[in-house]
Amino acid sequence: MKPEHIELSGVRDVADVIERVVHGRLHEATGLAAGLERRDKRGLHDFRIACKRLRYALERFEPLEPSLESAAEHLALVQDALGEVHDRDVLLAILPPTMGQTQRRLQQERETCIDRAAEEWNIVRAIFERT
């Protein structure tokens, strides 16, 4: 998945650059957040990558705009939870069919990780709604 292009022509100052980049990356992540509801591998992967891009943008600009720190921290938790989902998906793909109990446990853990990611994403959204 390629990142959305962020138009920087005509920027007036650093604050304008920050606003455009953060808004662009937030828009990208928000557009892919439906992967949390669908809970499919591809949707979750694309959303995780978009969250990573948003987090990196926030961390890049954090020294100039300290209010971005909290959202970056919660995005790290989103990424961690989705990384755990990916780990379960890999295990489920290679698990022998005779291990039904383990399969059910991994699927439960996967769902719990997705729920945790969704909770953290809701916090991120709330942070940006306040600003």
Q: Is residue 95 part of a domain?
A: yes
Determine the average pLDDT of the residues in 71-98.
Answer: 96
Other beta carbons less than 10 A from residue 5's beta carbon: 7
* CATH (domain of 97): 1.20.120
Q: Is residue 42 part of a domain?
A: yes
**Domains in the chain: how many in total?**
1
Q: Is residue 38 part of a domain?
A: yes
Contacts with 84 (C-beta within 8 Å, 6 or more apart), sequence order: 109, 113
* Owning domain of residue 99: 14-130
Q: Is residue 79 part of a domain?
A: yes
Determine the average pLDDT of the residues in 80-107.
Answer: 96
Give 37: exposed, middle or buried? Use CB within 10 Å, 0-12, 13-18, 19+.
exposed
Q: Is residue 25 part of a domain?
A: yes
Cα–Cα distance between 85 and 71 in angstroms, integer? 21
Instruction: For residue 103, give both structure tokens.
Output: 């399969």
Q: Is residue 48 part of a domain?
A: yes
- Determine the pLDDT at residue 108: 98
- Determine the pLDDT at residue 2: 86
pLDDT band at 116 (very low <50, low <70, confident <90, very high): very high
Q: Is residue 6 part of a domain?
A: no
Is 116:80 a contact under the CB 8 Å cutoff? no
Q: Is residue 4 part of a domain?
A: no
Give the chain's mean pLDDT: 95
Q: pTM for the whole thing?
A: 0.92
Say if residue 107's pLDDT is above 80.
Answer: yes
